[in-house]
Structure 1
Amino acid sequence: MPSFTGIAHLTLSVRDRDASVRFYRDVLGFQEFQTRDCGEWRRTMCRHRSGVVLGLIEHKDHFNAVFDHRRVGVDHLAFTVSSSAELDAWEERLTELDIDHSPVVHAEQGRALTFADPDGFQLELYCEDSA
């Protein structure tokens, strides 16, 4: 079987590209590196220092609906953090930024914290338990 080496990027459809770019930049530290606007859509590609690449695309004919994880498609996006202390620091940061979030909870083989982006897309910060 042919192989691949990883995920190149993930692109999210958003209602307001500019608001989403600000959120991912200001909250999670992504930096814009490419923007393209055409008649049908506006897209900005963002990169995090971890190497994760995220596209944010606003379609001209979007339906203005909020994300619903119960529909077929992506349920949530989880980012790995390096330690429990780092996860606790994220909880403090989200509280300081007045972003609604879950408390840190025990998840399968780790701890997790969940919150949502401006479109209601579920995001998770996850730390594996130390073995």
Structure 2
Amino acid sequence: MSSLAGIAHITLSVRNRDTSVEFYRDVLGFHEYKTEDGPHWRRTFCRHPNGLVLCLTQHTDHFNARFDPRHAGMDHLAFAVSSPDDLEEWEKRLDALEVEHTPILHGDHGPLLMFEDPDGIQLELCCPDPPAG
């Protein structure tokens, strides 16, 4: 079987595309590079300086409810950071931007911060522990 080379992109369904683009740009550093409007959706593609592509799609017939991780689908989205020091810098950034978040926690995979995007999608910034040896 062929191996996977990585994640090509992540697409999130959002209640308000413009609000979400602003959040992911201002908080996490994504930059929008392409916007499309179809008959039933509005979509913006954003790229992070690390190359990760995030597509934010607002469906015109959406039911306008916040995200619920108890439904089938995604539970949360975790972004890796390079070191515990980087995680502390992110904590300061979230504080400065007044983004509500947990303190740095020590989870099963290493230290992490949790917060939510405007739609209630749980986001994590984590510093994965190195693999055991």
Q: TM-score, normalised by structure 2?
A: 0.94
- Describe how 1:51-90 pairs up with structure 2 within 5 A: 51-90=51-90
Aligned-pair CA distance for 1:4: 3.2
Q: Aligned residue for 1:27?
A: 27
Gaps of 5+ in 2: none
Query: Residue type of the partner of 1:63?
Result: F
Q: Distance in 2 between matches of 1:19 and 1:32?
A: 13
Q: Aligned residue for 2:118?
A: 118
Aligned-pair CA distance for 1:38: 1.6
The Cα offsets for residues 75-94 of structure 1, whole Å up to 9 and x where unpaired, read as 10000001101100111111
Counterpart secondary structure, 2:20: helix
Q: Aligned residue for 1:127?
A: 127
Aligned-pair CA distance for 1:2: 3.5
Query: Residue type of the partner of 1:91?
Result: E
Q: TM-score, normalised by structure 1?
A: 0.95
Aligned-pair CA distance for 1:13: 0.3
Aligned-pair CA distance for 1:67: 0.4
Q: Distance in 2 between matches of 1:75 and 1:81?
A: 20
- Describe how 1:102-117 pairs up with structure 2 within 5 A: 102-117=102-117
User: C-alpha root-mean-square deviation of aligned residues, in Å?
Assistant: 1.3
Q: Aligned residue for 2:13?
A: 13
Aligned-pair CA distance for 1:7: 1.4
Counterpart secondary structure, 2:127: strand
Q: Aligned residue for 2:92?
A: 92
Work out the percentage of aligned pairs sharing the same amino acid.
60
Counterpart secondary structure, 2:118: coil
Segment of structure 1 superposing worse, 91-100 or 12-21: 91-100
Aligned-pair CA distance for 1:109: 3.5
Q: Does residue 41 of structure 1 match 2:41?
A: yes
